[in-house]
Structure 1
Amino acid sequence: MIYAVFLQKPDPNPQELCYSMQFIITAVGPDHRGLADPIVHCVTELGANISEIQMFDHDEESLFSMLTRVELAPNRVRDLSEAANEISVRTGLSIRTWSPDIVDRKPRLAICATYRTETPRAVLQAVQDGQIAAEAAVMISNRQACRSLAEEYDVPWFTIGDAEGKADDDQLINICDEHQIDYIVLARYMRILPPSSVWKYAGGRIINLHHGLLPSFPGMRPYHDAFAVRMLTYGATCHFIVPELDAGNQIINQSTFSVPPGTPIDAIVRRGQEENEPACLVEGVRRVVAGEVRLHFNRIVATA
């Protein structure tokens, strides 16, 4: 069960807002009493305005997850980091602090892929061309099919899958932590991230490309599902990942294409994979790194 806390804040002083940054604090670990209090007390003592709190109890896994979104003066960033480290040691929680208000550098992307090369290539090329104002910091995969892309674009490559393609999800998160990743881009990465991984990078940091129109066509075969009900319009969806798979309320971008009646399914899939999906993901990632959209209480918020 997710517990969301909506906090009524006083009207901010406009001068104070000029000197505040948004920070997202995530905490994941074994569930027991008193885990939320230290985090809430920490940020309030630092003078932060709390704009969002979400907590999740995975009863079957005895796992606690929490997201706290705050507005904090930039000169308290080090204090926040030190306090988070102290709480982590004391409680055993895995705690991360991150700000979407990135300054003096480009956002760092981890591009995850499995078999298909069209979508990761499109993101890499858009980064190289400056269409996406970010840095492709690493490529991560549970297979070897896309390794040549990393070599072509001179991006560090990491394989996290075993011989059967089963991914080591903890290794994925460790790589992202070590390379100070801002956004994880799932470019047709054909593995489902576990809740613990999603919560560690919660708050609009995981971007996914689904090869169908959400919420109508979730699942692994959206082209075939749409074809089965005689659709003539097909599409792709770029959305933020939240613990509910393909939930549909976190859509960053959707793109569609129409086909004449009688078009074979193979031709539809080929057009979608080679043309529509790459374009959809590139525009979605561009919007996120440009700060045009963010995630708030698991809903898209347009900032422009």
Structure 2
Amino acid sequence: MQPSISYPNPLIIQRADPYIYKHTDGYYYFSASVPSYNRIELRRSKTIAGLAHALPRTIWRKHASGSGEQSELIWAPEIHFINDKWYIYYAAASTTDFDQNGMFQHRMYVIECDKPDPMRNEDDWVEKGRIKTPMDSFSLDATTFEHDDKLYYVWAQKDPDIFGNTNLYISEMENPWTLKTNPVLLSKPEYSWETQIFAVNEGPAVLHRNGKFFLTYSGSATDENYCIGMLVSDENADLLDEKSWHKLDHPVFTSNTKDNLLGPGHNSFTVSEDGTEDLLVYHIRNYSDIKGDPLYDPNRHTMVQSFSYDDNGYPQFGQPEHFTVN
């Protein structure tokens, strides 16, 4: 079946690392990195297009600069609903300096809200602290998913003994802020399209369809080289066994250079308003001449588009769609 639903693109300007979650209350909830990297915002709407004009609500702010953990560079918040409570996973650093590996010093954190309305009051959100992994190293971009009454955690982290910046790991969780099992390495940057300028596997997102789990992720530097790769596992396999996951040797979503839609990545998944179509949520840039560090260029914009599946049940994302002007 070919996708038939379209949305205004860009949906939201200057919002990178976008995450859209459709809740049982009928609202879409949106979280993303803000260009100043100093807070976590939420917005919601009954429609996806309505997110563009929904009033953002700040629900958490970084700690005072120089005060230690979570005081700098708040990245990639994701909102999840687990066991009747709201959780937002994000990465934060204590400094903008690099560590001995020449990388930022992010670690992963989570906040919790036990109220039905997660946007009611900033004080409703409680810090549950850092999510600790056996390696004390640069880590970020956590996501969670549930399957067979188990909660799984997937994230990106630097292993000093492995070439490149970050690899992808999975673990079962004891609760939404504690790992239960040892991390399992699922993927590391190895192909040329994952290692342009920087060797990166980051921004994992999970899609459960057609008897399979599809785990997408982003590779290479966050300029026009940024692209999306994918791993696949059978839904009945042991998801904590690296052998259960097959990594495709090619990217599944890349720049549309003809229309200057460049560096698509850090995606998430949601569904259309009528529930009939799956949607790819991602960010792009519309120019390649970036002055200075691409990280601090604010013009990564949120995009949304529907996608179809092939005869084997694999998602077919196509390419970034044209911008439309509202």
Give me the TM-score of the superposition, normalised by structure 2: 0.27
Give me the TM-score of the superposition, normalised by structure 1: 0.28
Higher strand fraction: Structure 1 or Structure 2? 2
